[in-house]
């Protein structure tokens, strides 16, 4: 069974540009969550999706947006990039039953210069 796949793995962007990150969940998982992690920091919750609907959104500016497609793949977009957006962006997928783990991808390392 393939794991959670995030693309690209690494990205370098310039301030003011926009970026789109992709996440393919484990087959059969309809829940996808996104997290931002900066050096030495925890998992800052961005948003979560279930069956193409955004269920919750974290405390991030409107420049951060996301969506989920009918095949459960998800994308997140960051517009007007700032230096402080440099981080590891992680997505996780979970199954629709209690007592199950969240499976994380390897993350996308975004560097804004």
Q: Where on the chain is the footprint of another protein (CB under 8 A)? A: 4, 30-31, 33, 40-43, 45, 48, 50, 55-56, 88, 90, 92, 94-107, 109
Closer by beta carbon to another protein, 21 or else 92: 92
Closer by beta carbon to another protein, 45 or else 80: 45
Query: Closest separation between CB of residue 80 and another protein, Å?
Result: 27
Closer by beta carbon to another protein, 17 or else 100: 100
Show the tokens assigned to 87. 């981080």
**Which residues fall within 8 angstroms of residue 91, CB to CB, at 6 or more apart?**
4, 6, 21, 23, 25, 32, 33, 34, 35, 74, 76, 104, 105
């Amino acid at each position: 069974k393939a794991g959670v796949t995030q693309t690209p793995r690494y990205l370098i962007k310039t301030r003011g540009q926009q970026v789109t990150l992709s996440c393919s969940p484990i087959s059969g998982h309809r829940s996808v969550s996104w997290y931002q992690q900066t050096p030495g920091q925890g998992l800052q919750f961005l948003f979560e999706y279930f069956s193409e609907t955004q269920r919750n959104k974290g405390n991030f500016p409107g420049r951060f947006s996301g969506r989920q497609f009918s095949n459960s793949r998800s994308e997140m977009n960051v517009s007007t990039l700032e230096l402080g957006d440099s981080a590891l962006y992680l997505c996780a997928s979970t199954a629709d039953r209690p007592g199950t783990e969240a499976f994380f991808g390897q993350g996308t390392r975004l560097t804004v210069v």
